[in-house]
Amino acid sequence: MRPRKANSREKILAAAADVAREAGPGSLSLEAVASRAGVSKGGLLYNFPTKAKLMQGLVESYLRDFQKALEARAAGARHESVLSAYIKLSADDCERPKPPASWMFSAIAEDPDFLTPIKAFKHQLLERLKEETSDLGSLLVCFLAIEGMRSMNLFDSDVLSEDEHKLLVASLLKIAG
Amino acid sequence: MRPRKANSREKILAAAADVAREAGPGSLSLEAVASRAGVSKGGLLYNFPTKAKLMQGLVESYLRDFQKALEARAAGARHESVLSAYIKLSADDCERPKPPASWMFSAIAEDPDFLTPIKAFKHQLLERLKEETSDLGSLLVCFLAIEGMRSMNLFDSDVLSEDEHKLLVASLLKIAG
DNA sequence: TTTACTGTACCGGCTGGACGGTCTTGTCAA
DNA sequence: TTGACAAGACCGTCCAGCCGGTACAGTAAA
């Protein structure tokens, strides 16, 4: 029996991320994703009429999830700054073993403009952080350092040891105040 | 008359970087590179028998250039730390408009293992920086912030304004001591 | 100094395979 | 029975790598 109205979109998105991570971003083909998602190629194309739409879906779901996680953290401890929440969230996100979002490379290869929403999101986040601090210099250092953490995670470059990672996070929280 | 012994390798490498930057990392085909370099496809394949070899060449030349630039800076001002030199070099590298090394995305798509030498290089650099400082926390913050700067540049995400960029660099130099 | 040979650098058409996207043919729930 | 959705064969395109050539420099025997 074929599962009717089983939310294929989510399965497909997850499968795409899996394929990009395991087979490499260059091997993210529609067939591979469909097969991984337990869906036929036609089924995939029904949900995402084009490869570009699939990438777009990946970007949007990524941003949505991140936003939700950040909001949850910020609401969970209202006495601390959003910057602290962002630092801690990113520290957790980059804890190994964490699946890096390799699909991003596929998206960039497909069309570099897929970065635009992400860029906009980051800009927006930075603006929000600026509002809650008076020390712009420290904020920038923290913001960029987090960016560095995330990028290392994305590139799967675990240059830092576990201890160094913890020390870094502690230092950032101290700078953030 | 065909230019004999005109160093095609360099021209091809430069052309590959250009194509990746201008046409997008997903459009880096051998034909496009050959045409851009003013070389036939056969000529390209003569110099780089495989696309993977071309990517490898890109990585190696990138690392070699970076190493040279860093050494030059470090030697140029021997009274300051290597970390300071690294900060300043990266700040200059990320000054817009600077061609981001989009070819890296093509390389990753071809085979994620092309990152290995880069990872190793960074690790080595970090070890070297560790030797000259006693404050590991500050070093890590600086190192990661630079990483963030470079990643933003690579992704062509100019989230920071000119002034913010300068403030960031100043703050980093202050932290680096 | 002519001729024959060798190795280097480069050319460009070809092909086999992979991939994105379409189309026809189902198939189940209402 | 109908319509939303899924299956997978199929088609056109693109591209990496191959291969048979060409041009030329050097060498050296004749």
Whether A45 sits with its Cβ under 7 A from any strand C atom: the answer reads: yes
Which pLDDT does position A98 carry in this prediction? Answer: 82
Which chain B residues are Cβ-neighbours of A24 within 8 angstroms?
Answer: 108-109, 111-112
D27 C1' – B34 CA distance, angstroms?
33
C-beta neighbour count of B40 within 10 angstroms = 12
Which pLDDT does position A174 carry in this prediction? Answer: 96
Mean pLDDT of A158-174: 95
Which chain A residues are Cβ-neighbours of B148 within 8 angstroms?
Answer: 143-151
Which pLDDT does position A177 carry in this prediction? Answer: 82
pTM of the model: 0.93
* Contact yes or no for A171/B140 (Cβ under 8 A): yes
**Pairwise CA distance, residues A42 & B152, whole Å:** 37
Q: Is residue A4's pLDDT more than 90? A: no
- pLDDT, one tens digit per residue, over B17-74 is 999 999 999 999 999 999 999 999 999 999 999 999 999 999 999 999 999 999 999 9
**Pairwise CA distance, residues A105 & A108, whole Å:** 5
Write phi, then psi, for B9 (nearest 5 degrees): -55, -50
Output the six-digit token pair for A159.
Answer: 């240059």
Asked if the C-beta of A63 comes within 8 angstroms of chain B's C-beta atoms, the answer is no
Alpha-carbon distance values, B68 to A54, B25, B63, B89, B169 (Å): 42, 26, 9, 11, 22
Residue of B89, B88, B52 lying closest to B67 (CA atoms): B89
Which pLDDT does position A43 carry in this prediction? Answer: 92
C2 C1' – B4 CA distance, angstroms?
25
| B 72-131 residues with CB < 8 A to A | 102, 105-106, 108-112, 115, 118-119, 122-123, 126
Q: Is residue B5's pLDDT more than 50? A: no
Q: Is residue B4's pLDDT more than 60? A: no
Residue of A84, A34, A72, A140 lying closest to B166 (CA atoms): A140
Which pLDDT does position B3 carry in this prediction? Answer: 42
**Pairwise CA distance, residues B131 & B71, whole Å:** 16
Q: Is residue A76's pLDDT more than 90? A: no
Q: Is residue A114's pLDDT more than 50? A: yes
Alpha-carbon distance values, A99 to A6, A34, A59, A95, B62 (Å): 25, 20, 15, 10, 27
Q: Is residue B1's pLDDT more than 50? A: no
C-beta neighbour count of B144 within 10 angstroms = 29
Lowest mean pLDDT among A4-13, A119-128, B22-31, B121-130: A4-13
**Pairwise CA distance, residues B100 & A157, whole Å:** 19
Output the six-digit token pair for B157.
Answer: 């995400």
Instruction: Band the pLDDT of B158: cuts 50, 70, 90.
Output: confident
As a whole number, the mean pLDDT across chain A is 93
Q: How many CA atoms lie within 13 A of B170 on its CB side?
A: 8
Mean pLDDT of A144-149: 98
Q: Is residue B2's pLDDT more than 50? A: no
- pLDDT, one tens digit per residue, over B59-114 is 999 999 999 999 999 998 888 899 999 999 999 999 877 889 999 999 999 999 99
* Contact yes or no for A9/A64 (Cβ under 8 A): no
Which pLDDT does position B81 carry in this prediction? Answer: 94
Q: Is residue A1's pLDDT more than 60? A: no
Residue for token digits 């991570």? A21
Contacts for A20 with CB less than 8 Å, ≥ 6 apart: A27, A28, A102, A103, A105, A106
Whether B51 sits with its Cβ under 7 A from any strand D atom: the answer reads: yes
Substitution target from B141, B150, B173 for chain A, most A beta carbons within 10 A: B141
Substitution target from B147, B166, B168 for chain A, most A beta carbons within 10 A: B147
